[in-house]
Structure formats: structure tokens, C-alpha cells
């Protein structure tokens, strides 16, 4: 018996995966600080086509200006809390304000972005069979020093921390229930060129203050610690995670740990030796210490950061000088 039925036409997605060698990559939040550096790196590979979806809440077209009009690049003004229909092979899902002053500004929106936004990107990944990477945060670990637990936690960071926890949960549930390929990066404090100048984060604050000749504002007690990862190392880690075999969660960060007083002294020494350091009031719920254990990233991704704080700060200084219009004396 013979059948005269023609074989089914390949779906647009299958067509792209098997007949075309280009990789189509969606970057949500690609107009932001980390996202725009990620786009720069992805665009270096001529086989990549990059689509950015961003609502410009904390990001800006300016961060992507060198790609606007490029044939392998597309920029869409889009809010991830709304459904998105595109055909892609990979999704880097970064959309979410990262700085406390921005994510606390409209906490309900922050939760919607994390929950509904992540759900939409997972629905998209499911429909087109794409692999999706979420940029989660070290904040999911909370402040491990407070033990036993009193009732004094204010919850002002919850829209971000809890939002990311739900986003991680959704990722794993889509993975288990629908077989979506997922990757979860837990990002620790990252710094570098293109950070918002007035976003209130410590590295951007100290560098802008030093350049403007204003006192560096160390929030009390000043002994709290953070570990700062330069953005090129971060982007390298994210791409290795996406391309590798492991779902994560995997910590991506630089284990070099500094107190805020030490950071202020380093910025002072490198940028403006005569600047003052002022101790000021802190905000509620400030985590007292933070440093990533990167054993997993080293073993599973062969990744570790290369740029030391002392080498990264001058690169950021250069960018801030240009944007603030303050030249070196």
C-alpha cells in the first residue's frame, strides 16, 4: 500500500533549528546595565541574532545605540508582564529593576515583573521550545546572620527577594511539568560601566561622589560586606551557564569580600585622595554580609572571575567621567 500524503511541512521553529545555523536569542531587560553588556558579547558572534525586549524603566536605548539598525539586531519596547510572541531558540530573562531604590519605588510592579513576567517568558519558552535562563539573585539567601529570628524584619525588600524566589520556583515547575530547558544564575553584586549614575547602589554612589568631590556616604555600621563582580566576568558566566549542561541554580559572583569602609577607602585612594568619608544612616533590612561560594561555577562551568576590584573601578571611573563630563585633572 502506498500513501500519497506529502510529509508535514516543518514548523517555523523546526525550520530555524535544523535548516538554519543562526541562533535567535531574546534578551529581556537587554537595555539595562548587565543586559546591554550581554548583548554586546552575543552580537560579537556572527551566528547570533539578538532581540531585546525592554520597557525602559531603568534601562535606556542609549546603552544599545551601537546596535540600533544592525541587521542581526532588533529592539522592542515591551513590558514582560504582557504576553510576547516571538520565535527564538534561547531566552536570557533579565527584565527586573535591580537597584533597591527602583524596585522599592513600585513594589507591586516589581512583583508583577518577577511573577507574571517570568510566567510569560516560560510560556513563550514552552511554545517555541527555547532554553531559558533566569537572572536570580543572592538576595534569595536572605540575611543568614540573624539567629534566632526576631519579628523586626521590615519586608521592604520582599517584592524583590520573594519575587525572585517565585520566579525560580516557576522555572523549576515548568522544567518538571513541561520539560522546559532552564538555567538559573544567582547573581551577586555586579558593577561596571553603564550602571545608572544615581541608582543609589554603593559602587555607583561612591564613584559619582568622588568625581563630584562630595563626601562618600558609608551607611552604618560600615562593617557590612559585599563582594563585587565586574560586568564582563558576569556576562561570561551567564553565557557559560546558558551553553552548558546544568540547570543550576549556580552562584555567579566574585568572592573577593570587602567592608563598605574598605570600599570607600579604595575609591578614595584610586579616584580622589582628598575626599571625605561620612558615616550616614542605613536603610532597614540591609544584609550584613555577602560573599558567593563559587565552587559549583568553577567545577561545572569552568568559570571564575578575572577582574579584580582595583582593576575594574578605574574602568567604571572612565565611563562615569565621560557621562558626568568631568575630565581627569
CB 119 to ligand NAD: min, Å: 12
Q: Does 189 bind ligand UDP (CB under 6 A)?
A: yes
How many CA within 13 A on the CB side of residue 136? 31
Quick one: what does residue 96 bind among ligand NAD, ligand UDP, none, with the CB cut-off 5 to 8 Å set by partner type? ligand NAD
- Rounded (10°) angle between helices 202-212 and 309-324: 60
Q: Does 219 bind ligand UDP (CB under 6 A)?
A: yes
Catalog residues that contact ligand NAD under the rule CB under 6 A: 28-29, 31-35, 54-59, 79-81, 94-98, 113, 117, 135, 137, 187, 189-190
Rounded to 5°, angle at Cα 68 from 126 and 189: 65
Nearest CA to 308 out of 229, 231, 196 is that of 229
Q: Which residue's entry shows cell 536605548? A: 61
Quick one: what does residue 24 bind among ligand UDP, ligand NAD, none, with the CB cut-off 5 to 8 Å set by partner type? none
- C-alpha cell at position 302: 569552568
Instruction: Answer for the pair 241, 185: CB distance below 8 angstroms, yes or no.
Output: yes
Neighbours of 149 (CB within 10 A): 9
Q: Which is nearer to ligand UDP, 100 or 292 (CB)?
A: 100
Instruction: Answer for the pair 159, 108: CB distance below 8 angstroms, yes or no.
Output: yes
Q: Which of residues 235-274 bind ligand UDP (CB under 6 A)?
A: 260
Q: Which is nearer to ligand UDP, 141 or 319 (CB)?
A: 141
CB 72 to ligand NAD: min, Å: 20
Q: Does 312 bind ligand UDP (CB under 6 A)?
A: no
160 is catalytic: yes
CB 311 to ligand NAD: min, Å: 18
Q: Does 289 bind ligand UDP (CB under 6 A)?
A: no
* Beta bridge mates, 73: 50
Q: Which is nearer to ligand UDP, 192 or 301 (CB)?
A: 192
Q: Give a three-class secondary structure readout of 211-277.
A: HHCCCEEEECCCCCEEECEEHHHHHHHHHHHHHCCCCCCEEECCCCEEEHHHHHHHHHHHHCCCCCE
Q: Can you give the binding site for ligand UDP, defined by CB under 6 A?
A: 83-85, 100, 119-120, 123-124, 126-127, 189, 200-202, 205, 217-219, 224, 226, 260, 282, 286
Amino acid at each position: 500500500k502506498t500513501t500519497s500524503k506529502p510529509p508535514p511541512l516543518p514548523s517555523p521553529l523546526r525550520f530555524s533549528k535544523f535548516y538554519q545555523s543562526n541562533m535567535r536569542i531574546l534578551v529581556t531587560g537587554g537595555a539595562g546595565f548587565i543586559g546591554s553588556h550581554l548583548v554586546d558579547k552575543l552580537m560579537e558572534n556572527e551566528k547570533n541574532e539578538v532581540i531585546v525586549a525592554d520597557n525602559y524603566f531603568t534601562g535606556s536605548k542609549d546603552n544599545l545605540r551601537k546596535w540600533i539598525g544592525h541587521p542581526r539586531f532588533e529592539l522592542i519596547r515591551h513590558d514582560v508582564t504582557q504576553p510576547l510572541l516571538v520565535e527564538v531558540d534561547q531566552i536570557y530573562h533579565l527584565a527586573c529593576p535591580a537597584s533597591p531604590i527602583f524596585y522599592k519605588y513600585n513594589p507591586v510592579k516589581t512583583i508583577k515583573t518577577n511573577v507574571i513576567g517570568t510566567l510569560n517568558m516560560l510560556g513563550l519558552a514552552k511554545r517555541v521550545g527555547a532554553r531559558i535562563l533566569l537572572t536570580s539573585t543572592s538576595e534569595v539567601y536572605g540575611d543568614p546572620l540573624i539567629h534566632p529570628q526576631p519579628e523586626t524584619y521590615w519586608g521592604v525588600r520582599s517584592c524583590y527577594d520573594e519575587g525572585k524566589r517565585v520566579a525560580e520556583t516557576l522555572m523549576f515547575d515548568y522544567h518538571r511539568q513541561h520539560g522546559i530547558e532552564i538555567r538559573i544564575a544567582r547573581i551577586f553584586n555586579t558593577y561596571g560601566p553603564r550602571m545608572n549614575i544615581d541608582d543609589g547602589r554603593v559602587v555607583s554612589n561612591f564613584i559619582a561622589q568622588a568625581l563630584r568631590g562630595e563626601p562618600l556616604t558609608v551607611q552604618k555600621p560600615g562593617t557590612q560586606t559585599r563582594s563585587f563582580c565586574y560586568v564582563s566576568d558576569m556576562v561570561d558566566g551567564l553565557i557559560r551557564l546558558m551553553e552548558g549542561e546544568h540547570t543550576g541554580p549556580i552562584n555567579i559572583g566574585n568572592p573577593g569580600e570587602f567592608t563598605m569602609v574598605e570600599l570607600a577607602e579604595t575609591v578614595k585612594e584610586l579616584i580622589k585622595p582628598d575626599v571625605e568619608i561620612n558615616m550616614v544612616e542605613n536603610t532597614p533590612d540591609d544584609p550584613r554580609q555577602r560573599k558567593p561560594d563559587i565552587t559549583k561555577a568553577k567545577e561545572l562551568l569552568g568559570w571564575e572571575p578575572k577582574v579584580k576590584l582595583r582593576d575594574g573601578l578605574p574602568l567604571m571611573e572612565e565611563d562615569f567621567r565621560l557621562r558626568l563630563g568631568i575630565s581627569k585633572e
